[in-house]
Amino acid sequence: MKEGLRQSMALLHTWTGLLLGWLLFAMFATGTSAYFQDEITRWMQPEITGSADPVASAEGAVRFLQRTAPDAVSWYISPPNSRSATTQVYWQPGDGKKPARRGETSAVLDQSGKEVSTRETRGGFFLYRFHFDLHYMPVIWARYLVGVAAMFMLVAILSGIITHKKIFTDFFMLRFGKGQRSWLDAHNVTAVIALPFHLMITFTGLVTLAVLYMPWGIAANYAQTSTYQEAVFGKTEEVARSGQPAPLAALGPVMQSASAHWGGKRVGYLRVTNPGDTTAMISVTRAPEGAIGSRGEEVTFNGVTGKPVGQSMAKGAALATESVMIGLHAGRFAEYGLRWLYFLSGLGGTIMVGSGLVLWTVKRRTKLPDPSRPHFGFRLVEKLNIATIAGFPAGIAAYFLANRLLPLDLAERADHEINSLFLTWLAVFVWALVRPSARAWPEMLGLVAVLFAAVPLVNAFTTARGLPASLLAGDWLFVSFDLVMLALAAGFAKGAHKATRKRVEAPRTTRRKPQEAMTA
Amino acid sequence: MTHLFCTLLAIAAFAALALSMKRHQRDLAGRTLTARETSLARAGGWSLIAVILAVDVAVFGFGYALVAWAGQLTMGAWFNVAWLCWKTAPSRKGR
Amino acid sequence: MAKSAANIGGNRRGIGRWNVAARIIAAIPANYLVTSLAAACLARLLAHGLSVNPAEASVTATLLSFAIFATIALFAFGLRSVTRLWLWLTVTAAICGGILWLSLSMGERL
């Protein structure tokens, strides 16, 4: 009955992969881009150049916050790191009022503590948040949906392994240009070569939001989640202000002391509670690049004397494992070499999901009773494939283009950038609906190629940091961004070319094989 | 720099492993290898994979090394697939 | 029993609708229930049976729960007999639920 197991696993693989495959494609694409979210943000804020000193920046941020929010409950300061040049601050207002807008309690500062003037954008951060929060819908539902998709992915990977045990010895056998076989090979090779990555990224992805998806392990031992959180992250009790003013300790020595405590690893961010009061405290968290674990160590200092008063407790094996799993998923610890490997693996994952989706239609086309008039389900999958595999990348390209093309003083500019992503996606979907699929494929893949190719061009015309200029200046961040855009354009152009050729050859490959089992 | 070096080693490692498989020998070497050569290629491939891990551990420390190792091997495998794919493309068969 | 296996394989006349529906219900909602009970039960057993730190015990159970869920989902489609599948699920749920109930009635939560 071994054949029965293989067939049922093949069925499971097909349907878990297909049902949420379009969402998984978008999650893979944005997740991959999120490995470079800081770099994308820097590209989308071309006004900001150079680098900044973390200590000077933190002290500049304190001057800004003392002017802006002297009576805040707490300040959060992220000084610039190896990948950014600005300081992010936000604060919890002292009057307890909810801010009307995001911008009211946060700011982006330069080294001297002045607010930077740059175009309004959410940059790479938006792509990162879309990866698990999606958009235009309540975050909590988005996260449940994303979790279901991730679990489908995990089951699809495992059932795929069981079905296709043989391909592990075959993974040098990728051949392009042979109809169904080449789609199958593209899917297999992208899946098998980066299998450790796919398994890791899917499982750890579930772990990042584990408490949301599977709260029962904690609920079994703790009547209240807050008790658990205190046990794990330490008490974060709010101490009331004493009302007696006292100057805040200088942040420079505090940061050096914390850094020395971690064997020279850098400071990630600082939290100051009750600033300007005798009860002030400064908590310093280690930078994520210091270790794989995502739960950074924390050292707490007295906010007036600057003397260390405590540190986060050592973690047991399970909490350390969880911390490492989340760290592995987000890859914040990775320096540039490994970051590129993460990015390329993610790209491979995106191709795996995309080729799997296409494979579903390719495998079924030849078995249709009448290939020229496919049934509704087949047409739906085909249209959604075009809308996703061409439409979502087109949307991302449009997001970058909007960043350069929208007027700088436009109201709600950041939101319009995001809207242009979704409008482009919608437009491709509509196009896919009204055109015959065989024509829509090359047209839309070609459009994506044109859009990606346009990004470096538009960048060169609208900023002083075009590809030739950044090459001359040795500005590798901008050079890499533009080159990745061109590489994506080339990839999609090749796809469009293949899709055009397939259409010409199509009539020859439409044979009927209704007796064959529907396994994929 | 270590990543580049290790990725190059990984390319060599997977090329050796591909050489140890009968179906790829003609594509890569132009002839079928003897049993001795085949087992040599297999041993060479696997030992290179071990060497890469050793280099990574020495440079990065254990945890980071495992992640880097997986990434470098992935790239090495990709390169070989691309190369084999190009070498055996139908348009080149005629030559 | 052999008939259901042939049906899920799809090599007879299509796929038995009720068979597939029973498996989908087993693989998603019933699976979630069983996995939740197993995770809660494991967290209790580790914390009170093996006196592991409760936070550690809870996190261990939570991390394992995703592997448990995926495994049950695979079994829901891999097992030949739907009856056996549901029997397994019911027995597992009953055992985990029983242990959890006993454990909760013996010791309070934190």
Using an 8 Å CB-CB cutoff, list chain A residues near C37.
216
Q: What pLDDT, on a 0 to 100 scale, did the predictor assign at position A514?
A: 36
Question: What HEC string does A143-179 produce?
Answer: HHHHHHHHHHHHHHHHHHHHHCHHHHHCCCCCCCCCC
A16 in Cβ contact with A202 (< 8 Å): no
Amino acid symbol at A249 = A
What number is the average pLDDT over the span A219-243? 81
The predicted structure's pLDDT at residue A518: 36
What pLDDT is recorded for position A510?
Answer: 38
Residue of A nearest to C54 (CA): A221
In this prediction the pTM is 0.89
- A134/B contact by beta carbon, under 8 A: no
Q: What is the predicted pLDDT for the residue at C12?
A: 44
| Gyration radius of chain A's alpha carbons | 26
- The structural domains of chain C, with segments of one domain joined by +, span 2-106
Interchain CB distance below 8 Å, A318 and C60? yes
The answer to whether A289 and A264 have CB atoms below 8 angstroms apart is no
Which of A2, A161, A213, A221 is the best residue to mutate to test the C interface, defined by the most C CB atoms within 10 Å of its own CB? Answer: A221
CB A23 within 8 A of CB A149: yes
Q: What is the pLDDT of residue A23?
A: 96
Find, among A310, A272, A268, the residue nearest to A288 by Cα: A268
Mean pLDDT of all residues in A205-225: 92
Best to test chain A binding among C35, C36, C59 (most A CBs inside 10 Å): C59
- B24 in contact with chain A, both atoms CB, cutoff 8 A: yes
Cβ contact A172–B81 (<8 Å): yes
Residue A335, pLDDT above cutoff 80: yes
Q: Give the residue from C110, C83, C95 showing the smallest Cα distance to C1.
A: C83
Nearest to A176 by CA among A495, A513, A500, A507: A495
**Chains with at least 3 CB pairs less than 8 angstroms from chain B:** A
pLDDT of residue A511: 38
Inform me whether the pLDDT recorded for A174 exceeds 70: no
Which one of B4, B24, B85 has the shortest CB-CB distance to A175? B85
For the ranges A64-78, A362-376, A444-458, the one whose mean pLDDT is highest: A444-458
Mean pLDDT of A76-89: 87
Nearest by CB to B84, from A172, A328, A345: name it: A172
Q: List, for residues A391-407, the tens digit of each pLDDT value.
A: 999 999 999 999 999 99
Q: Up-side HSE of residue A53: CA atoms within 13 Å toward CB?
A: 8
What residue spans of A194-311 are helical by DSSP H? Answer: 195-208, 210-213, 216-221, 225-233, 251-261
pLDDT at B91 over 80: no
Q: Which residue has the higher pLDDT, A335 or A132?
A: A132
pLDDT score of A199:
94
Find the mean pLDDT for residues A424-445.
Answer: 94
Structure-token pair, residue A215: 């709260």
Instruction: Supply the pLDDT for residue A232.
Output: 81
B3 and A337 within 8 Å at the Cβ level: the answer is yes
Query: Which whole number is the average pLDDT over B50-70?
Result: 91
| C105 pLDDT above the threshold of 60 | yes
* List of long-range contacts for A432-435, beta carbons under 8 Å, 24+ apart: A432/A383, A432/A386, A432/A387, A432/A390, A432/A391, A433/A383
Let me know the angle formed at the C-alpha of B76 by B83 and B62, rounded to the nearest 5 degrees: 180
Parse chain A into domains and list their residue ranges: 1-47+122-231+316-354, 50-117+235-312, 366-520
DSSP A470-513: HHHHT-HHHHHHHHHHHHHHHHHHHHHHHHHHHHHHHHHH----
Residue count (chain C): 110
Local structure of A208: helix, strand or coil = helix
Q: Do C40 and A232 touch (CB under 8 A)?
A: no
The pLDDT of residue A509 is 39
- What is the count of residue pairs from A and C with beta carbons less than 8 Å apart? 143
Nearest CA in chain B to A340: B71
Residue range B31-41: average pLDDT?
Answer: 86
pLDDT one-digit tens code per residue, A463-519: 999 999 999 998 999 999 999 999 999 999 999 998 887 655 544 433 333 333 333
Please indicate if any CB of chain C lies within 8 Å of the CB of A232. Answer: yes
- Res B57 pLDDT > 50: yes
Q: Using one digit for the tens of pLDDT, what is the confidence trace for A257-290?
A: 988 888 888 888 899 988 888 889 898 988 887 7
Q: What residue of B is the nearest CA neighbor of A346?
A: B71
The SS3 call for residue A116 is: coil
pLDDT at A368: 84
B67 contacts in A (CB within 8 Å)? 292, 328, 334, 338
CA dihedral A35, A38, A43, A47 (to 10 degrees): 180
Mean pLDDT of the region A370-380: 86
Shortest CA gap B34–chain A (Å):
20
Lowest mean pLDDT of A76-85, A121-130, A212-221, A483-492, name the range. A76-85
Q: Chain B residue closest to A328 (CA)?
A: B67
Are the Cβ atoms of C58 and A217 closer than 8 angstroms?
yes
State whether A197 and B78 contact (CB < 8 Å).
Answer: no
Contact criterion met (CB < 8 Å) for A222 and C8:
no
Residue A282 forms beta bridges with which residues? A272, A301
The secondary element (H helix, E strand) that includes residue A131 is: helix A123-133
Task: Test C59 with A319 for CB contact under 8 angstroms.
Answer: yes
Long-range contacts of A169-178 (CB under 8 A, 24+ apart): A169/B21, A171/B77, A171/B81, A172/B18, A172/B21, A172/B24, A172/B80, A172/B81, A172/B84, A173/B23, A174/B81, A174/B82, A174/B84, A174/B85, A175/B85, A175/B88, A176/B85, A176/B89, A177/A498, A177/B89, A177/B90, A178/B90
**CB–CB of A520/A13 below 8 Å?**
yes
Tell me the CB-side half-sphere exposure of residue A98, using CA atoms within 13 A.
1
Chain B residues closer than 8 Å to A289 by CB: none
Give the pLDDT of residue A172: 66
Query: How many Å apart are CA A226 and CA A236, to the nearest integer?
Result: 10
Enumerate the residues of chain A whose CB falls inside 8 A of the CB of residue B70. 196-197, 200
**Whether B89 and A177 lie within 8 Å, measured CB to CB:** yes
Predicted confidence (pLDDT) at residue B89 exceeds the cutoff of 60? yes
Distance CA A57, CA A85 (A): 9
Q: Quote the CA–CA distance of A421 and A404 in Å, as a whole number.
A: 13
| pLDDT one-digit tens code per residue, C69-93 | 999 999 999 998 999 999 999 999 9
Coarse DSSP helix, strand, coil percentages of chain A, rounded to the nearest 5 percent? 60, 10, 30
What is the rounded distance in angstroms from the CA atom of residue B46 to the CA atom of residue B14? Answer: 9
In sequence order, the 6+-apart residues with CB closer than 8 A to the CB of B70 are A196, A197, A200
A420 and A402 in contact (C-beta within 8 Å)?
A: yes
Predicted pLDDT at A188: 84
| Residue A334 · residue A342 · CB < 8 Å | yes
Are chains C and A touching, using the cut-off of 8 Å on CB pairs and a minimum of 3 such pairs?
yes
Residue A233 clears pLDDT 90, i.e. is over it: no
Sheet with strand A106-109: strands edge to edge? A106-109, A87-92, A74-78, A267-273, A281-286, A298-302, A308-311
Q: How confident is the model at residue B94 (pLDDT cuts 50, 70, 90)?
A: very low
Residue A385 burial by Cβ neighbours in a 10 Å radius (0-12, 13-18, 19+): buried
Angle formed at CA A284 by CA A283 and CA A290, multiple of 5 degrees: 150
Mean pLDDT over each residue of chain A, to the nearest integer = 87
Kindly report, residue by residue over C55-68, the tens digit of the pLDDT.
Answer: 999 999 999 999 99
To the nearest whole Å, the CA of A232 is away from the closest chain C CA by 7
Contact B77 A171 (CB under 8 A): yes
